Amino acid sequence: MADIANTTVRLTVVNPKDEGNPYNEPKEFTFSDEGANVIYIGRAPGNSVVLDDRNVSGTHIRIIRHGSEFFLEDLNSSNGTHLNQSKIEPQVQKLLRSSDRIRIVNYVITFHEGFEAFQLQSSENTKQIALEMIQSVLDGANYVEKPPKLILMTGAMQGQMVELSDAYTEVRIGRDPHRCQFHIDDENISREHALVRRDWTGVFIRDLNSRNGVIVNGQRLERNAEARLNDRDEIVLGTYRLSFSDPEGAQIDDKIDDIFASEEAEPEKKGRTPISKPAAPPPSMPGMEPEPAPEVAEVSNEAEDLPPAPAAPGSGMDEAVPAPMSNFGRGDDEDGPPEPIIETGLTGKEKAIIAVVVGVSVSVVLVVMVLLFMS
């Protein structure tokens, strides 16, 4: 059975502003299997989705698939493209998630993938989706975690990725093929440029005293400093751009935030003291404080004297360098011991586990009811 969670895309296109436009009412386009690998949108008739508007470029954007991930790219259009209210740079691919909104002039395109890409419009389609959902639930018994991963977005190796699975809880990125699990053969990359590690608190990236530095979301790390990575973060190493993908981690963080928010909103109703969300542990090594940058010239781990690399597209290197991130993720309250936490009920982790179990159980019941109804 095909893995529809990774091979189906639905786009909803609407233009409510231009009177008489064919898209005044929403129209939907569904792409599956190989048809979802590359989706072109523009004014020209040969596009996957045609927007017959003089303000839209001939081929304005494309949605391209790398592995199980989908990316948006503006193809150097005349009037630009916005993703969730932010204008994207031309020819720079941006990681997409379900419910993302793409705006081209007055056209709004909503992106959905996987099960969210389906609309239950016919009984035949309903039955098929129910069967797929049952298969998904059964597969859950042999659930295999979808680990975080790094995806190379530029250069000849574009699309290459490495997962932070149980086999690789630490991944070194660099030019040395013997010591680096993610090997990038380029003179602008240091022999051991960066280290990405994963533990129970999250995923972190460290600059290994590289020559051309590590930039996360436009902020350059100090040498040997570490920063936490979140889903859809963008990393620049020399002239190379990478995207960090961790949708499951993002979902867990959202659930935990909801739990703590509910605890803080109604403490008296539950008859317990509000639970304070624990501060994230500092990304630096235990017991060590980052030292101020020396005034003398810094020493690289490179033996040869390589010239600095030109800035990668979207890296922000042509602007003033933002403040370093050596204290990234540290708690603000360091003046005294924390107040004791009084916990008389289920912990946040236990609640999250119960919520997942209940959600799966309800899904199974609903699927069985749909099948019984269809039969």
- What is the distance between the alpha carbons of residues 16 and 156, in angstroms, rounded to a whole number? 41
Mean pLDDT value of segment 353-367: 72
What's the domain range around 230? 149-250
Same domain, yes or no: 156 and 245: yes
Which helix (H) or strand (E) segment holds residue 112: the answer is: strand 107-113
Decide if 366 is inside a domain: no
Q: Does 169 lie in the same domain as 232?
A: yes
Q: Write the single-letter amino acid at 39.
A: I
Q: Is there a domain that residue 363 lies in? A: no
End-to-end CA distance of the chain: 21
pLDDT of residue 299: 47
260 located within any domain: no
104 and 17, same structural domain?
yes
The tokens describing 161, both together, are 């990725």
- The count of other CB atoms within 10 Å of the CB of residue 228 is 18
Tell me the backbone φ, ψ of residue 141, rounded to 5 degrees.
-65, -30
pLDDT of 248 above 60: yes
In the predicted model, is pLDDT for residue 115 greater than 80? Answer: no
Q: Give residue 185's region: left, alpha or beta (phi > 0; psi -120 to 50).
A: beta
Identify whether residues 173 and 91 lie together within a single domain: no
pLDDT, tens digit (0-9, with 9 covering 90-100), for 275-302: 555 555 554 444 445 455 545 445 445 4
Question: Burial level of 188, CB count in 10 A (0-12/13-18/19+)?
Answer: buried
Q: Which residues contact 181 (CB under 8 A, 6 or more apart)?
A: 162, 168, 171, 172, 173
CA distances from 218 to 215, 295, 298 (A): 6, 24, 21
| Shared-domain flag, residues 34 and 104 | yes
Q: What angle do CA 299, 302, 305 make, to 5 degrees?
A: 85
Spatial separation of the C-alpha atoms in residues 229 and 236, rounded to whole Å: 13
Residue 332: pLDDT over 50: no
Pairing of strands 219-220, 214-216: antiparallel
Distance separating alpha carbons of residues 308 and 204, to the nearest angstrom: 25
Mean pLDDT score of the chain, rounded to an integer? Answer: 75
* CATH number for position 161: 2.60.200.20
Nearest to 91 by CA among 101, 105, 77: 77
Q: Which has more confidence, 195 or 315?
A: 195
Same-domain pairing of 104 and 155: no
Q: What would the pLDDT profile of 62-104 be if each residue is shown by its tens digit?
A: 999 988 889 999 999 999 999 998 999 999 999 999 899 999 9
Q: What is the pLDDT of residues 123-176, one digit of tens each?
A: 455 555 555 565 555 555 554 567 888 999 888 888 888 888 776 689 999 999
Residue 213 scores a pLDDT above 80: yes
Burial of 186 (0-12, 13-18, 19+ CB in 10 A): middle
The answer on 110 and 158 residing in a single domain is no
47 and 90 share one domain? yes
Looking at the 3D structure of the chain, how many domains does it have? 2
36 contact partners, CB below 8 Å, separation of at least 6 = 7, 8, 9, 65, 70
Give the helix, strand, coil percentages of the chain, each rounded to 5: 20, 25, 55
> What is the pLDDT at residue 33?
84
pLDDT at 37 over 60: yes
In a domain? residue 187: yes
Q: Is residue 280 part of a domain?
A: no
Q: How far apart are CA 137 and CA 143, in angstroms?
A: 9
Of the three residues 193, 216, 250, the one that is the final residue of a domain is 250
pLDDT for residue 48 is more than 90:
yes
On whether both 33 and 78 belong to a single domain, the answer is yes
Give me 134's structure tokens: 């049952």
In a domain, 203, yes or no: yes
Do 76 and 14 share a structural domain?
yes
Highest mean pLDDT among 220-229, 344-353, 354-363: 220-229
Cα-Cα-Cα-Cα dihedral sign, residues 214, 215, 220, 225: negative
DSSP letter (8 states) at residue 90: B
Residues 223 and 175 in one domain: yes
Residue 274 lies in a domain: no
The answer to the question of residue 319 being in a domain is: no
In DSSP notation, 310-375 reads: PPPTTS-TTSPPPPP-TTTT--S--SSPPPPPP--S--HHHHHHHHHHHHHHHHHHHHHHHHHHH-
- pLDDT of 10 reads 93
